């Protein structure tokens, strides 16, 4: 815990890094947060993009969303793991920020029209198409951004311009998508 607290303090001192919840606990002891779980935000980076960059450097990221990422510090980690993590985070803040990925101005698209039942769509013959050519077609698979893990599109629903714009925004910020054979959504 002492090492985790030291790391959190050093990371909080990095320009462009915000340790969510701060470093010092403000709640009484039984309710203090677990300091081995570090939620942070990196200025100019979506949590997804920051997580992808750290993963490229061999750092396991537990979770990410549009603004934050979660790192877990464990008893299994050795000093070299923590040093590598700290170095990767220091390098991350030195990189040019890829831009503001907040979805504050992007409203969730309307539920797309259902053209087939999910069963009919699942049993139908379907083929892969480029995302740029998918408008007006009927989805053969669910498209589920994670988090939150709630399908944006279900089999049988029409791929509308609004849904496709939302998917593109998720892709740009590096958000994990599941439910499709091609998780890159290319």
Average pLDDT over residues 138-148: 87
In angstroms, rounded to a whole number, what is the distance separating the alpha carbons of residues 150 and 173? 18
Contacts 24+ apart (CB under 8 A), 120-129: 120/156, 121/155, 121/156, 122/155, 128/181, 128/182
Confidence tier at 24 by pLDDT (50, 70, 90): low
Share of the chain above pLDDT 90, in %: 24
pLDDT at 160: 96
Average pLDDT, the chain: 84
Share of the chain above pLDDT 70, in %: 88
Q: 157: burial class by Cβ within 10 Å (0-12, 13-18, 19+)?
A: buried
pLDDT at 28: 58
More confident residue, 111 or 107: 111
Helix (H/G/I), strand (E/B), else coil: 63: strand
In angstroms, rounded to a whole number, what is the distance separating the alpha carbons of residues 38 and 23? 9
Count other C-beta atoms under 10 Å from residue 151's C-beta.
15
Average pLDDT over residues 102-122: 82
- Please check whether residue 37 is in contact with residue 72, taking contact to mean a CB–CB distance below 8 angstroms: yes
Confidence tier at 6 by pLDDT (50, 70, 90): confident
123 phi/psi in degrees, rounded to 5 = -90, -10
pLDDT at 30: 58
Q: What is the largest CA-CA distance in the chain?
A: 59
Reading the block at residue 56, the tokens are 């490229």
pLDDT at 142: 93
Report pLDDT digits (tens) over 83-102.
Answer: 888 888 888 888 887 765 55
């Amino acid at each position: 815990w002492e090492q985790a607290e030291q790391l959190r303090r050093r990371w909080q001192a990095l320009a462009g890094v915000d340790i969510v919840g701060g470093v010092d606990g403000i709640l009484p002891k039984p309710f203090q947060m677990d300091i081995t779980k570090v939620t942070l935000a990196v200025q100019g980076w979506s949590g997804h993009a920051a997580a992808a960059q750290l993963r490229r450097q061999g750092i396991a990221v537990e979770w990410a969303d549009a603004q934050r990422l979660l790192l877990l510090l464990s008893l299994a980690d050795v000093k070299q793991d923590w040093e590598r993590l700290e170095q990767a985070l220091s390098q991350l803040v030195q990189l040019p920020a890829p831009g503001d990925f907040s979805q504050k101005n992007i409203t969730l698209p309307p539920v797309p029209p259902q053209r087939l039942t999910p069963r009919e769509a699942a049993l139908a013959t379907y083929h892969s198409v480029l995302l740029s050519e998918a408008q007006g077609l009927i989805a053969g698979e669910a498209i589920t951004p994670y988090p939150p893990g709630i399908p944006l599109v279900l089999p049988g629903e029409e791929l509308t311009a609004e849904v496709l714009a939302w998917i593109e925004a998720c892709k740009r910020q590096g958000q994990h998508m599941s439910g499709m054979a091609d998780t890159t959504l290319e």
